[in-house]
Amino acid sequence: MATKQLFSIEYDFHASRQMLFQYLSTPSGLGEWFADDVNSRGENFTFIWDDSEESAKLIQKKNNERVRFKWKIDEEENNEYYFEFKIQVDDLTNDVSLIITDFAEEDELEESKMLWDNLIASLKQILGSG
């Protein structure tokens, strides 16, 4: 199996870090832009799209700062892969940025970045942060 490549993308937001964090860390928030529906039981999240379902484990959460998930398949295969939402606020300007960290196979890297661009565009629209 090909090794996946780590990548990060940064997006600027016109929203408070607290409001943004709700959309990154709660099933109801994630269900508005990331998946069609999201359920959670403790640290286990189930992401539902049209006809597919993926489970992930919440492996790190720091309020109003970062959320890191690991897909169950990666956990079962002892892969180091994860995806993370990290909120940064510039101390001088108070500008809010969201940094997405994810992994993709080299030949799927551009496609993965485009997927995140589309997902974040939806999130910005929901937040009125376009």
- Residue 24: other Cβ atoms inside 10 A: 22
If DSSP codes are grouped into helix, strand and coil, which group holds residue 1?
coil
Q: Which residues, in sequence order, are bridge partners of residue 18?
A: none
Over its length of 130 residues, how does the chain's per-residue pLDDT go in tens digits?
Answer: 568 999 999 999 999 999 999 999 999 999 999 999 999 999 999 999 998 999 999 999 999 999 999 999 998 898 999 999 999 999 999 999 999 999 999 999 999 999 999 999 999 999 987 6
Rounded Cα–Cα distance for residues 77 and 95 (Å): 38
β-sheet with 44-49: strand ranges across: 4-13, 96-105, 83-89, 66-71, 52-62, 44-49, 37-41
Rounded Cα–Cα distance for residues 38 and 46 (Å): 6
Domain boundaries, the chain: 4-127
Q: Which residues, in sequence order, are bridge partners of residue 52?
A: 49
- Using CA of residue 125, residue 127, residue 128, residue 130, what is the dihedral sign? negative
pLDDT of residue 130: 63
Domain 4-127 fold is: Alpha-D-Glucose-1,6-Bisphosphate; Chain A, domain 4 (3.30.530)
- Using CA of residue 108, residue 114, residue 117, residue 119, what is the dihedral sign? negative
